[in-house]
Amino acid sequence: MRKSFAKNLIPNIILMVITLIMVVPLLQVINIALKSNQEFLSSPISIVKDPQWGNFLEAWVSGEMSTYFLNSFIYTAAVSIGVCLIATLASYPIARKHIKGSNFFYLLFLSALFLPAGLVPLLFLMKYLNLMNTYHGFIILKIGGGLSVAVFIFTAFIKGIPKELDEAAAIDGCGYLRYVLTILLPLMKPAIMTVGMLTAIGTWNDFVGPYVFLIDKELRPLTSGLYMFMGEYAVNWPILASGILIVAAPLVIAFIFLQRFIVSGITAGSIKG
């Protein structure tokens, strides 16, 4: 009993420390968001005494977040669906080795995980292809950036699906594309949820990309609204903290409902790969 307690003591302590490092800043942001500007300036770290729930409404209105929210939803939904669909069509022939050099293509996708983004070349390429400052251009850019992780996870997951299922579908006259879309995709639900959530987080929270590739204010996503609270000489920190919580809330809610699929998708992909 004592040996078991001593064996688990250090991992539990490490886990508690990591949890505190992640939770304490979040609680502090919530604490700041509920303060008035005067209360924050007088005591930034103290616990809020008079919660100002109106800060969230003021952040929504002053940050013009109604327009930004719609843009973020369009970008996030389009990129997540695009990445999952294209990665599935690419991962299946790689996993089943239906094409020559499948290992080369797999390593090519995998190498993108370790290479820098190359912001300047991307900027010139987007400008040359007339994709700058457009909805579809930014969506294509984000899809290309998310394919490497998606192919890596999907390929490992598909390798765990029995090949006999492919043969049975072929005998029944099921076409290649129909098999992938109607049979394979439902089986990949945990992996798709994992990739979809990871892609959504990267797209929704992207702050630098919109300012580089989207010039018009009307095309920018929700994270751009946070910059509206940065004054030249002063910053209203409670309103900024409220804006941060508004931006983070949709992803937190989505993760709460999808965490079961995300964990199972990562576990299945790591074991079956």
Read off the pLDDT of residues 172-198 as tens digits, 9 standing for 90 and up: 888 888 888 888 888 888 889 889 988
The SS3 assignment for 228 reads helix
Distances (CA, A) of 195 to 10, 158, 211, 262: 32, 14, 25, 8
> How far apart, in whole angstroms, are the C-alpha atoms of residue 270 and residue 267?
5
Residues 235 and 159 sit within 8 Å (Cβ to Cβ)? no
Domain chopping of the chain, boundaries = 64-272
| Cα-trace Rg, the chain | 23
* Contact by Cβ (8 Å): 61, 242: no
- Res. 5: pLDDT tops 70: no
CA distances from 85 to 101, 103, 160 (A): 22, 21, 19
Would you list the DSSP string of 74-129? HHHHHHHHHHHHHHHHHHHHHHHT-STTHHHHHHHHHHTTTS---HHHHHHHHHHT
Q: Given this model, what pLDDT does residue 265 score? A: 54
pLDDT digits (tens, 9 = 90+) for 55-103: 999 888 887 888 889 999 999 999 999 999 999 999 999 998 888 888 8
Q: Encode pLDDT of 226-271 as tens digits.
A: 777 776 556 788 988 998 899 888 888 887 877 766 665 555 544 4
Neighbours of 204 (CB within 10 A): 21
Distance CA 181, CA 159 (A): 17
DSSP letters spanning 31-71: HHHTS-HHHHHH-SSSPPSS--THHHHHHHHHTTHHHHHHH
Q: Out of 3.40.50.150, 1.10.3720.10, 3.30.300.30, 3.60.130.10, select the CATH number for domain 64-272.
A: 1.10.3720.10
d(CA 212, CA 201): 19
Residues 69 and 222: beta-carbon distance below 8 Å: yes
User: Which spans in 159-207 are helix H?
Assistant: 163-171, 176-179, 185-187, 189-204
